[in-house]
Amino acid sequence: MHEGEVPVDADVVRRLLASQLPALAGLPVREVRSTGTVNAVYRLGDHLCVRLPRLAHWQDALDRETRWLPVLAARLPLAVPEPVAVGRPDDGYPHRWAVYRWIEGATYDDGSVADEVTAAHDLAAFVRALRTHDVVPDAPRTGRRPLRELDAPTRGALDEIAATAGARPEVAHADDSGTRADAGTRSAHVDVAAAREAWDLALEAPAWDGEPVWVHTDLLRPNLLVRDGRLAAVLDFGAVGVGDPAADVVPAWSVLGPDGRAAYRRALDVDDATWARARGYALHQAALIIPYYRVTNPGFVTTAVRTVAQVLQDLAH
């Protein structure tokens, strides 16, 4: 998915385990297929998984996660990843990697949750609980730059979406049958004119000048697990830190529909400025995802297209 990505397969995982964590080396290893973009993930036996950053700079995300998850987890009402061990780079794999407890569940989608409003309340309870942690001096800063500083890349992404609308990707991976590329093409239908207007409106949102709080920052559908119809776990804390609370209002559009969105806003008591800022961040993030992953990760593109549609629907009412 990324230029410079390190190739990883089950044999690489087995070799790393054998040399560094021999007590786990006898467990079966199998790839976990997902729309994740930061780590390659392999199931390790029934109760563990191995996560390997795809690019060098994402080692920092793994380090942040393994440092702060044990501090934050106890107060959180949903399951979160539990680090078990951190591995070293070697000649065959040049990044740090980690072993975690496996969390059972299905990725959040409209069919996996029994009731969206209940899911909204459960997610809001998670966000509120995360915010209760003290902002200690060494807490990492996180979050996106102010919306006006994101103007050029957002407009550039929307221009690229417009330019490729209806176009068939020229290249897919060598082991693809063509299905992934075609799916990416079909999924990337965006009302770019309306999205540009929505972005213009987002730039009018007041800049954040409040006190930082703990935020997850990446509450997208692929990072939420559902079990028995209820939200059960939150994954991927690689960008966790303290910053603008708008970062965790983004799932109002990236995860939820109209009913859940209204419930989520009420549960978090979101003011108008934070709401407008969060909607802008949701649009920005989705706009950048669509052209970047159009060929390599069409499932992720589909979620981003949905987010843009939710933003536009919200503004239309």
User: Is residue 96 domain-shared with residue 131, that is, in the same domain?
Assistant: no
- pLDDT tens across the length of the chain (317 residues): 888 898 899 999 999 999 999 999 999 999 998 888 889 999 999 999 999 999 988 899 999 999 999 999 999 999 999 999 999 999 889 999 999 999 999 999 999 999 999 999 999 999 999 999 999 999 999 999 999 999 999 999 999 999 987 654 443 333 333 334 344 444 458 999 999 999 999 999 999 999 999 999 999 999 999 999 999 999 999 999 999 999 999 999 999 999 999 999 999 999 999 999 999 999 999 999 999 999 999 999 999 999 999 999 999 98
The domain boundary, picked from 75, 103, 131, lies at 103
Q: What is the pLDDT of residue 36?
A: 86
Residue ending a domain, choose from 44, 75, 103: 103
Look at residue 107 and give its three-state secondary structure.
strand
- What local confidence, expressed as pLDDT, does residue 184 receive? 41
70-76 contacts, C-beta under 8 A, 24 or more apart: 71/133, 72/130, 72/133, 72/214, 72/237, 72/240, 75/129, 75/130, 75/132, 75/133, 76/126, 76/129, 76/130, 76/234
Range of the domain at 256: 116-316
Tokens of 264: 């989520």
69 phi and psi angles, rounded to 5 deg: -60, -45
Q: What is the pLDDT at residue 164?
A: 87
Locate 114 and state its tokens.
Answer: 């029994």
> Do both 136 and 64 map to the same domain?
no
Q: What is the pTM of this model?
A: 0.91
pLDDT of res. 223:
96
Confidence (pLDDT) at 171: 36
Q: Is residue 123 part of a domain?
A: yes
Neighbours of 86 (CB within 10 A): 14
Count of CA atoms in the C-beta half-sphere (13 A) of 13: 26
Note whether 154 and 241 are same-domain residues. yes
Count of structural domains, the chain: 2
Query: Looking at 103, 134, 168, which one is the last position of a domain?
Result: 103
Q: What pLDDT is attached to residue 166?
A: 61
Same domain, 231 and 194: yes
Q: Decide if 207 is inside a domain.
A: yes
Q: Is 295 helix (H, G, I), strand (E, B) or coil?
A: coil
**Both 147 and 18 in a single domain?**
no
